[in-house]
Amino acid sequence: MASSTMTSSQSPRPPRPNLAFRELRGQRSPAEFAAAVRRAAREIGERVSCDARYVGRVEAGEIRCPNYAYERVFLHMFPGRTLTDLGFAPRSSVRGRGARATEVAPPAPGARPVHATGETWGAYEPYDTQDPYETYDNEESDVLRRAFMTGGGATVAAASLSPIGLAFDATAAQRPVRRVGAGEADALEEAVRRIRVLDDRHGADGLYRRAAAPLRAAYALLDAGATRQTTADRLHSGAGELAISVGWLAHDSGRYDDARSHYAEALATARMTGDPALESHAFCNTAFLARDAGRPREALRAAQAAQRVGRVLGSDRLMSLLALREAGGWAGLADRTGCEQALARAQALYERGPSDADPEWMSFYGEAELEGLEAQCWSSLGDWPRAARHARRAAQLQDPHFTRNIALYTAELADDLARGGRPDEAATAGMRVLDLLGQVQSSRVQSMLAGTARVLLPHRRASGVSTFLERHAGLPRSA
């Protein structure tokens, strides 16, 4: 919400371009520099969603001080320099009236940063507040607070986050909305990123119930119209990506009809605006949903459509993922040959490596995801030993940031071991999943674990099985 010290007649002071940062970029394009930032982040175990637009915002002075994750990456890229040397303002000077008088060193990974009390959240936010190391409640609160906010002179259909989740500001949605600009597009894109971060860590169940209202707010922005065509394009793309994100939350929490509706909405938005990136993403998720819903032929058609549309984007990693979606369709149809061919194509495309053309939403797609999706294919084909081998590798390779995926791959491993006649190992894997359920809320994972428990019932005398079954039986049931 807007700062109490700023009225609608007041405008924030114009940002001062960051010439030092621009000089460090040198002859590289913004996209090339963003790719270098992402590579540097991987070198030190960070995960940032840096793109050309973020680089542009820094150079324009819109981000006067980076968040802690970006700070660590920048200082790694330019050793011996301080944030001031990089053209940024001191952290204490950009955090509002309640800012600390002195700067505090960034927390180590996994530590919770200390925030200033009484921090002002204004229409113009010069401080990049996305911090991937905040705890669940605080981070989710931050998502809600900044998802959609009043920007410039426009009154936006807004969503704000309470400490327990997404709480829609209904009165804002009913007020007249003026034509919107780049600030609203920025807020919409940031909301999509943050929802993905929360889902990666905690699963969909706790988020989906609170996500529909921000999606309505996004489409309210489209109805309001934009000042420029480039902004309108960004709003359509952002609204479509948000629809996909909300659809995934529905998918992962077992609400398949809702997910189908949201994906269809994103697909319609993509086709209206001629956006092949959004269209291929919508088809990709539609294929995944159809496979999980027991419609393998639809999954196959959607995956093939995604590949036709996505080929023009020039991303081998995207085409690799889409080939895996196709493999899942073939596996559901019990076509082993078709599945193996698609898997081989996916592996070959993946080995070509990442590129600047890779969509931002694919940050989850690495070797672990490739192994996990291949495990699901072999599981569908009934090749339990092979499925277990890939699922085990997926769980071992997964970045700890993606807690939900670790739980998912381990649940897949437990089920494959149980069905493959190795109940004691299945129970051990199942116990690891139970340990993660305190952090992860995913109906999908819980459903897989319930299936494993049913398979293990006849083997309760095997080592560790009875302990697993008793602990699983004590889980609270989802509403």
- Residues 84-113: pLDDT tens digits? 899 998 866 654 433 333 334 444 444 433
- Burial call 11-49: b when 16+ CB within 10 Å, e when fewer: eeeeeeebeebbebbeeeebeebbbbbbebbeeeebbbb
CA distance 374 to 138: 35
Residues 6 or more apart whose CB falls under 8 angstroms from that of 106 comprise 68, 71, 72, 113
According to the model, what pLDDT value does residue 182 have?
A: 64
pLDDT in tens, 1-55: 333 333 333 444 567 889 999 999 988 888 888 888 988 888 887 777 788 878 8
Other Cβ atoms within 10 Å of 182 Cβ, number: 19
Average pLDDT, the chain: 76
pLDDT mean over 424-453: 90
Is the torsion defined by CA of 356, 357, 360, 364 positive or negative?
Answer: negative
pLDDT at 129: 39
Residue 19 identity (one-letter amino acid): L
- Under the banding of pLDDT at 50, 70 and 90, the label for residue 239 is confident
Tell whether the model's pLDDT for residue 225 goes beyond 90. Answer: no
How far is C-alpha 259 from the chain's CA centre? Answer: 16
Rounded average pLDDT over 374-381: 96
Which pLDDT score, from 0 to 100, does residue 419 have?
95
Q: Which residue has the higher pLDDT, 239 or 433?
A: 433
Rounded CA gap, 38 and 244, in Å?
24
Lowest mean pLDDT among 221-225, 305-309, 362-366, 396-400: 221-225
* The Cα angle at residue 142 between residues 138 and 148, in degrees rounded to 5: 160
Is pLDDT at 131 greater than 50 in this prediction? no
- How confident is the model over 230-255, as a mean pLDDT? 80
Residue % of the chain over a pLDDT of 90: 38
- pLDDT the model gives residue 72: 86
Strand partners, 168: 159
Region 328-338 average pLDDT: 96
pLDDT at 371 over 60: yes
Listed residue (220, 218, 198, 217) closest to 208, CA to CA? 198
Q: Kindly tell me the sign of the dihedral angle through the C-alpha atoms of 389, 392, 397, 398.
A: positive
Confidence of residue 444 (pLDDT cuts 50, 70, 90): confident
pLDDT of residue 127: 38
pLDDT class of 116 with cuts at 50, 70, 90: very low
Which of 33-37, 265-269, 467-471 is most confident?
467-471
Q: Which residue has the tokens 């988020």?
A: 207
What integer pLDDT is reported at residue 220 of this predicted model? 67
Spatial CB neighbours of 67, under 8 Å, sequence gap ≥ 6:
128, 129, 130, 131
Q: Please tell me the predicted confidence (pLDDT) of residue 136.
A: 31
> Please, are residues 287 and 304 in contact by the beta-carbon 8 Å criterion?
no
Q: Phi and psi (nearest 5°) for 154? A: -95, 140
Do 333 and 297 contact (CB within 8 A), yes or no?
A: yes
- As a three-state string, the secondary structure of the chain is CCCCCCCCCCCCCCCCCCHHHHHHHCCCCHHHHHHHHHHHHHHCCCCCCCCHHHHHHHHCCCCCECCHHHHHHHHHHCCCCCCCCCCCCCHHHCCCCCCCCCCCCCCCCCCCCCCCCCCCCCCCCCECCCCCCCCHHHHHHHHHHHHECCECCECCCCEEEECCEEEECHHHHHCCCCCECHHHHHHHHHHHHHHHHHHHHHCCHHHHCCCHHHHHHHHHHHHHCECCHHHHHHHHHHHHHHHHHHHHHHHHCCCHHHHHHHHHHHHHHHHHHCCHHHHHHHHHHHHHHHHHCCCHHHHHHHHHHHHHHHHHHCCHHHHHHHHHHHHHHHHHCCCHHHHHHHHHHHHHHHCCCCCCCCCHHHHHCCHHHHHHHHHHHHHHCCCHHHHHHHHHHHHHHCCCCCHHHHHHHHHHHHHHHHHCCCHHHHHHHHHHHHHHCCCCCCHHHHHHHHHHHHHHHHHCCCCCHHHHHHHHHCCCCCC
Torsion sign, CA atoms 144, 264, 368, 37:
negative
Mean pLDDT of 396-424: 91
What percent of the chain clears pLDDT 70, i.e. is strictly above it? 67
Question: Residues 158-210: pLDDT tens digits?
Answer: 333 222 233 334 344 444 445 556 666 666 666 666 666 665 454 444 565 66
